[in-house]
Amino acid sequence: MQIIRRNFGLKLLSVVLATIGWAYFRFATNPTGPLEQQLTVPLATINLAPGYLARFAEKTATISVALARNQTPVRPDQIRAVLDLTGKESGIYNIPVQLVAPDLSVQSLSPASVTLTVVPLIAHTSAVTLHYVGNAQASIVAGATSIEPRVVSLHGPSDALGGVTAVRVDVPLPGAAKDFDEMLRPIAVDAAGVEVPDIDVSPNLVRVRASFVASEAKP
């Protein structure tokens, strides 16, 4: 009895720690238990009616799936995260994220739904104007200029096109007299001169010709 009672507290603690250790390795690190894999995949829309655009902030979805220890990891290209916009026209909607994937045990999905805005796409035409950029030289002035084509087509969301006040090409000012003949990209801009996003301009290049000549000296 003296042997048992001697250091009884330490012996009891050893038994408890040994039991906890066995339970951890038996259950927490069970080689036959499941693994969890996390993937990030792009969000895409499906079944959106022609003539409409969907705007949403979230661009990806994060998915966690449970895998058996001997199961091959899932590749991101095996899963699609989609927003089904069947029958959705102009308006604001909250759309659940749907997974198109093999038979997987999905543990979590974030975001589970996405709030988006569907806007109509419209088109109209606009004349192209010249906009000179760079440091102007007092001794150089622009002479004859031409733009081909002079009128371009704009295509984009109705709300974005409503903010377009001009379509311009940026022509760099030269440091000396010269002839300018280049293909430049016309851009749709707002009242502050900032390019308006989501606007397609067709054609995407126009030919700009200009003659920069020396100004006549004042007497």
Specify the CATH number for the domain of residue 44: 2.170.120.30
**Buried-state track 161-189, b at ≥16 Cβ within 10 A, e below 16:** bebbebbbbebeeeeeeeebeeebebbbb
45 in any annotated domain: yes
Query: 138 and 189 share a domain?
Result: yes
Q: Which of 78, 111, 144 is the last residue of a domain?
A: 111
Q: Which of 199, 208, 136 is nearest to 169 (CA)?
A: 208
The more confident residue out of 9 and 98 is: 98
Question: Model confidence over 140-192: pLDDT tens digits?
Answer: 788 889 999 999 999 999 989 999 999 999 998 888 888 999 999 999 999 99
Same domain (yes/no): 126, 101: no
Domain that holds residue 98: 35-111
Domain count, the chain: 3
> Around 1, how many Cα atoms within 13 Å sit in the side-chain half-sphere?
0
Q: Are residues 151 and 68 in the same domain?
A: no
Task: Collect all residues with Cβ–Cβ distance below 8 Å to 105 and sequence separation of at least 6.
Answer: 34, 65, 66, 67
User: Do 105 and 128 fall into the same domain?
Assistant: no
Residue 219 falls within a domain, yes or no?
no
**pLDDT tens digits, one per residue of 67-99:** 877 778 888 888 899 999 999 999 999 999 999
From 62, 88, 111, give the residue that closes a domain.
Answer: 111
